[in-house]
Homo-oligomer: A and B are copies of this chain.
Amino acid sequence: MQEKLDQLKAILAEVYDLSSAAALLGWDQQTYMPSAGAEGRGHQIATLEKIAHNKFTSDQVGQLIEDLVADLKQLDPDSDDACLIKVSDREYKKQTRVTSEWVENFARETTIAHQVWEKARSENNFAGFQPNLERIFELRREYSAFFVPYEHVYDPILDDFEPGLKTADVQEIFKTLRPQQVELIKAISEKPQVDDSFLRGEFDDRKQWDFGVSVITAFGYDWNRGRQDRAAHPFTESNGRDDVRITTRIYPDELTAGMFSSMHEAGHALYELGVDHALARSPLASGASLALHESQSRMYENLLGRSMPFWEFYYPRLQDTFPAQLGNVSLEDFYRGINKVEPSLIRVEADEATYNLHVMLRLELEIALMERSLEVKDLPEAWNAKMEQFLGVTPPNDADGVLQDVHWSSGLIGYFSTYALGNLISLQLWELIQQDIPNLPDQVRKGQFGELLEWLRRKVHRHGAKYEPQDLIMRITGSKIDPVPYMRYLNNKYSQIYEL
């Protein structure tokens, strides 16, 4: 058994190398690549992904996994090796359904589409992106077809991001959540609005950058194992256990987007950097799922970064950084300002109370596009109609509407709902953390985040992708994904801010 395990691990390590090389090429494409390089980059990424796919889905790997699964009972089911075999088995069964031609086409299409999307967004021209997006959804439907029979055409692609979760599960969770969020927003809208005008003005790019860096350094982000760069749409890239990079975007005329983006991506990076080194160069060497990932990023961005204890420590520092702009703004006013609830156009800048509605909108549109009850050409209209219906606002142009997010151009369909699920999980974890570290608010008031990170590493990070996400959540919290803690948090927080 050990020999076969070693053989499997050696192959998986090469697959990991190929995938992480492709990830670095993707990082480069979104940060430093010259524009004319897109076509060549498309070929490179497609080739790497095809070879990784072929290597992993070979008959040799299939036979090794089959033999190892047969001997699985010899192992502690929670051991690294047992988990590796189970995860590989699951992934092998998925991937062998997909042809290498599809993988290659998809990689090439999405690489080209990404460049087209950037241009289309900058020119506010959906029509320029439409043919690419049509091909991407066509490819995604072809992908689901590999998994016939399924309950829902959306299930196979959701499963890629949230293994084990079904479309019906998400719809059920959102059905509970949506009316409560809408009710909260309605209650807030009937109260006097808070003032956040001081967050706009002239904010030196370099000072914003440095402030964000000081915060995420305090969070525990290790600059020997990571770096921060600029990208149109911030993201985290894991290039292996000791190289996990984040990106951010800073606006010279707005204070919050850059710093919260850095905190958010740092949350993702801390997760990846916290995976047990014993899992390196294996499919277990990453977060358990996107929702788990988002629970970490949203925790750092919101549960810390938009909390009063955090700003009790950092606000005097921020005032020192921008004395002209913030010198006369009280901590309380600043706190209310950064937590202002207002239906708006851009998901990544949405407040905590409205954020999930942006996600629900995308989920419904994606399901409709996958079902073909909506055509891509009608997407801008459908987007705008739903924005009006869910949030009461209509984008003035497609750049601030349907073209705002990078995901579809990268082929990431089935991804968005994980953002909202991550919010829910973050509160399930946060309530536990409050029990285990009762004086966490005092620590945060001193700018100390070490015990929190230690808790997250022990309970969440170190496991990597050993357990299925629903299983991991159950192991940690004793519950499935549950919207109640999140609504409790929102209601408490905004009742105080808006005196509901």
CB A146 to nearest CB in B, in angstroms, measures 24
Stretch at the interface among A127-135, A170-178, A239-247, A486-494: A239-247
Q: Of B17, B47, B229, B241, which contacts A47 at CB under 8 A?
A: B17
Q: What CA separation (Å) do A33 and B224 show in the bound complex?
A: 9
Q: Of B36, B227, B240, which contacts A44 at CB under 8 A?
A: B240
Restricting to A182-211, which residues have a CB under 8 Å from any CB of B? none
The residue on B at minimum CB distance from A38 is B242
Restricting to A225-240, which residues have a CB under 8 Å from any CB of B? 225-227, 229, 239-240
Stretch at the interface among A20-28, A294-302, A313-321: A20-28
| A48 contacts partner chain B, Cβ-Cβ < 8 Å | yes
Say whether B13 contacts A242, CB under 8 Å.
no
| A223 contacts partner chain B, Cβ-Cβ < 8 Å | yes
Restricting to A29-55, which residues have a CB under 8 Å from any CB of B? 32-37, 39-41, 43-44, 46-48, 51
Q: What CA separation (Å) do A53 and B453 show in the bound complex?
A: 43
Chain B residues in 8 Å Cβ range of A281: 40, 43
Say whether B223 contacts A37, CB under 8 Å.
no
Given contacts A20-B44, A24-B24, contact A34 B240 (CB under 8 A): no
A13, A14, A46, A227 — which one has the most chain B CB atoms within 10 A of its CB?
A14
Q: What CA separation (Å) do A240 and B43 show in the bound complex?
A: 10
Say whether A241 contacts B40, CB under 8 Å.
yes
Chain B residues in 8 Å Cβ range of A226: 34
Q: Of B18, B25, B36, B245, which contacts A24 at CB under 8 A?
A: B25
Q: What CA separation (Å) do A328 and B364 show in the bound complex?
A: 71
Q: What CA separation (Å) do A241 and B240 show in the bound complex?
A: 28
Chain B residues in 8 Å Cβ range of A51: 14, 18, 51
Say whether A32 contacts B227, CB under 8 Å.
yes
Copies of this chain in the oligomer = 2
A17, A226, A239 — which one has the most chain B CB atoms within 10 A of its CB?
A17
Chain B residues in 8 Å Cβ range of A224: 34-36
Say whether B229 contacts A37, CB under 8 Å.
no
Q: Mark A246-272, 1 if CB is under 8 A from B, else 0.
A: 000000000000000000000000000
Say whether B17 contacts A21, CB under 8 Å.
no
The residue on B at minimum CB distance from A20 is B44
Chain B residues in 8 Å Cβ range of A227: 32, 34
The residue on B at minimum CB distance from A48 is B21
CB A457 to nearest CB in B, in angstroms, measures 17
Chain B residues in 8 Å Cβ range of A239: 37, 40-41, 44
Chain B residues in 8 Å Cβ range of A41: 239-240, 243
Say whether A25 contacts B21, CB under 8 Å.
yes
Q: Of B13, B44, B245, which contacts A21 at CB under 8 A?
A: B44
Chain B residues in 8 Å Cβ range of A21: 21-22, 25, 44, 47-48
A44, A229, A281 — which one has the most chain B CB atoms within 10 A of its CB?
A44
Restricting to A330-385, which residues have a CB under 8 Å from any CB of B? none
Chain B residues in 8 Å Cβ range of A229: 32
Q: What CA separation (Å) do A24 and B48 show in the bound complex?
A: 13
CB A447 to nearest CB in B, in angstroms, measures 24
Q: What CA separation (Å) do A226 and B48 show in the bound complex?
A: 23
Q: What CA separation (Å) do A35 and B226 show in the bound complex?
A: 9
Say whether A34 contacts B223, CB under 8 Å.
yes
Q: Mark A270-289, 1 if CB is under 8 A from B, else 0.
A: 00000000001100000000
Q: What CA separation (Å) do A492 and B266 show in the bound complex?
A: 61
Chain B residues in 8 Å Cβ range of A242: 34, 36-37, 39-40
Q: What CA separation (Å) do A321 and B373 show in the bound complex?
A: 62
Q: What CA separation (Å) do A352 and B26 show in the bound complex?
A: 41
Chain B residues in 8 Å Cβ range of A241: 40
Q: What CA separation (Å) do A487 and B61 show in the bound complex?
A: 62
CB A77 to nearest CB in B, in angstroms, measures 29
CB A431 to nearest CB in B, in angstroms, measures 34
Q: What CA separation (Å) do A347 and B229 show in the bound complex?
A: 33
CB A356 to nearest CB in B, in angstroms, measures 34
The residue on B at minimum CB distance from A27 is B28
Say whether B37 contacts A225, CB under 8 Å.
yes
Q: What CA separation (Å) do A22 and B17 show in the bound complex?
A: 11
Chain B residues in 8 Å Cβ range of A43: 13, 17, 240, 281
A-B contact pairs, 14 of them (CB 8 A): A20-B40, A21-B21, A21-B25, A21-B44, A21-B48, A32-B32, A33-B243, A36-B242, A37-B225, A40-B243, A41-B243, A43-B240, A44-B239, A44-B240
Q: Apart from A21-B25, A32-B229, A40-B240, what 14 extra A-B contacts exist at CB < 8 Å?
A: A13-B43, A13-B47, A14-B47, A17-B46, A18-B48, A20-B44, A24-B25, A32-B227, A34-B223, A34-B227, A36-B224, A36-B225, A36-B242, A37-B242
